[in-house]
Structure 1
Amino acid sequence: MNVFRLAGDMTHLMSVIVLLLKIHTIKSCAGISLKTQELYALVFVARYLDLFTDFISLYNTIMKLIFLVSSFSIVWYMRQHKIVRRSYDKNQDTFRHHFLILPCLLLALFINEKITFKEVMWTFSLFLEAVAILPQLVLLQRTRNIDNLTGQYVFLLGAYRALYILNWIYRYFTEPHYVHWITWICGLVQTLLYADFFYYYFNSWKNNVKLQLPA
């Protein structure tokens, strides 16, 4: 494992920790899209179907379990926890996320590296992850004023994907025959979706002002 892959995994893990910290300690999910969290839960289920059949390493297994358990915990908190769910802004989080699922599944059926159930589900998870952040970005655009922890959560998610792109570039030049076009394109699309947010995030950090997106 190279340093970019490890940094990407740790950044992804930090994003989950920041979100759980916000929900568990502050008892608030204000500014967080339940639609995006549900999509991520589906992404991890589809991606980690091999959890109990193909052992790669202890590190790999632990990370898979962490992301599965944490994603479903976040959805549970936002849907069921009496205090947390009161802070969820359902009226603003109206992106029709279910319309993203079927196109991603159909695309995975036609564009994949191998026609097997697990491979199609893996590819489906890549396509879905590429667009899963859309409900969150739309919600931030509507609410405009973004609290510290929410801003850090979204930034870390974007940084995780950017670090994975560096990981792919590194592996392309150091490993023979390392070519995964579907993964690369999905990762690039996902990273580009964060571009606008990154711009305003770094501006707020540079000027030491509260993060605020334009109307």
Structure 2
Amino acid sequence: MKATRRSIQAVVRWVRRQPPKMKAFLAVVSGLAALVFLRMVVRDHDNLFVAAEVVHSIGISVLIYKLMKEKTCAGLSLKSQELTAIFLAVRLYCSFVMEYDIHTLLDSATLLTTLWVIYMIRFNLRSSYMEGKDNFPIYYLVFNQLAHPLSVHSRFQIGVIINLEDSYLALLCLEPAKKAVPVAYSVVIPCAVLALYMHPRTHHNIVNRICWAFCVYLESISVLPQLRVMQNTMIVEPFTAHYVFALGVARFLGCAHWVLQVLDTRGRLLTALGYGLWPLMVLLSEIVQTFILADFCYYYVKSVLGGQLVLRLPSGVV
């Protein structure tokens, strides 16, 4: 066991010595290798989506344990939990009216536990909530990321960049809002407007199709307020780190599910989802939310291999 751990640490040290471009190349190769491994091991790739929801539920369970044991919600983002509850509620509705299956049960359990976490943060543990740290400018992110990626506005700019110093992907938002914008107006409405224009062209009711698109878009950015809290505090305690890492694993499994489904059907899945920009938006949303968490997962694994209980993030991570 010790020999294996030393070997892993040696590999990590070797990777850290590599130039930024090599690190980026190794990250891409690792992702592709993981996809190939999943394709070979998992026979029914629909199980990956189920696994993603199970891992998400495990992450929420870790949060519940933290709140009950430590009696504090320090380091948690109420905004992220509220956004999660919204997209889960909408997805649960779509599941009831469009395809009632095991996903319905998993989403129901995850929604109930998420609502409990929100209640604890808002009421029982309100005194420990870091409201000043939970300050992500959500409006600028959602509108510009989903409607105009990599564009420049007269007041703000947002895009995906690669930091060549540490070789990580990050989302930056320049000139943040001077006043806090309520979540309902800053996120829900822009995602709903986008869903009106880009949604599935299937046989289902138009309202249900728009709701489906809405929850896909909202899910893709729901974790960003939590990452901003961690960026502001620079130190992430173990339970919160486990929770966010679980989200990262869940997002990767969800992305792998869609990518492998497209490969298995030789692209026919894209036409089954409808026509227009919707199939592309589904894949883009999955890829975006995976890369959003990839940076944190790297530092999490690095911290675990180093035997550190508390995760310390360098400045500039997400």
Same fold? TM cut 0.5: yes
**Is 1:19 the equivalent of 2:118?**
no
Aligned to 2:291: 192
Residues 68-147 of structure 1: pairs in structure 2 closer than 5 A: 68-81=111-124, 84-97=125-138, 98=183, 99-114=186-201, 116-147=206-237
In the alignment, the residues of structure 2 paired with residue 52 and residue 107 of structure 1 have an alpha-carbon distance, to the nearest angstrom, of: 23
Aligned to 1:9: 53
SS at match of 2:269: coil
Match of 2:89 among 45, 60, 74: 45
| Percentage identity across paired residues of the two chains | 30
Aligned to 1:214: 314
Match of 1:163 among 233, 253, 257: 253
Matched length: 212
Aligned to 2:109: 66
TM-score, structure 2 normalization: 0.62
Deviations 1:152-194 (A, max 9, x none): 1001001101011222232223346212432211011111111
SS at match of 1:29: coil
In the alignment, the residues of structure 2 paired with residue 56 and residue 93 of structure 1 have an alpha-carbon distance, to the nearest angstrom, of: 36
Deviation at 1:93, TM superposition (A): 1.0
- The answer to which structure, 1 or 2, has the higher relative contact order (CA under 8 A, 6+ apart) is 1
Aligned to 2:74: 30
SS at match of 2:200: coil
- Which stretch of the first structure deviates more once superposed, 134-143 or 42-51? 42-51
CA distance change for structure 1 residues 200 and 14 in 2, over 3 Å: closer, same or farther? same
Checking the alignment, whether the CA contact within 8 Å between 2:87 and 2:218 is kept in structure 1 is yes
Counterpart AA for 1:134: L
Counterpart AA for 1:211: L
In the alignment, the residues of structure 2 paired with residue 123 and residue 50 of structure 1 have an alpha-carbon distance, to the nearest angstrom, of: 10
Counterpart AA for 2:269: Y
Structure 2 runs not aligned, ≥5 long: 1-43, 139-182, 271-278
Let me know the Cα RMSD of the aligned residues: 1.9
Deviations 1:83-115 (A, max 9, x none): x22221112112244223222111111111137
Deviations 1:6-61 (A, max 9, x none): 3322211111111111112322211110011011111112222235444522x233
Aligned to 2:269: 178
In the alignment, the residues of structure 2 paired with residue 55 and residue 168 of structure 1 have an alpha-carbon distance, to the nearest angstrom, of: 17
Task: Kindly indicate which of the two structures has a greater share of residues assigned to strand.
Answer: 2
Counterpart AA for 1:79: R
TM-score, structure 1 normalization: 0.90
In the alignment, the residues of structure 2 paired with residue 26 and residue 39 of structure 1 have an alpha-carbon distance, to the nearest angstrom, of: 24
In the alignment, the residues of structure 2 paired with residue 80 and residue 25 of structure 1 have an alpha-carbon distance, to the nearest angstrom, of: 17
Counterpart AA for 2:132: N
- Which stretch of the first structure deviates more once superposed, 120-129 or 89-98? 89-98
CA distance change for structure 1 residues 65 and 102 in 2, over 3 Å: closer, same or farther? same
In the alignment, the residues of structure 2 paired with residue 85 and residue 173 of structure 1 have an alpha-carbon distance, to the nearest angstrom, of: 47
Counterpart AA for 2:234: R
- Is the radius of gyration larger for structure 1 or structure 2? 2
User: Which contiguous aligned blocks of 4+ residues in structure 1 show a shift greater than 6 angstroms?
Assistant: none
Counterpart AA for 2:245: F
In the alignment, the residues of structure 1 paired with residue 285 and residue 259 of structure 2 have an alpha-carbon distance, to the nearest angstrom, of: 14
SS at match of 2:314: coil
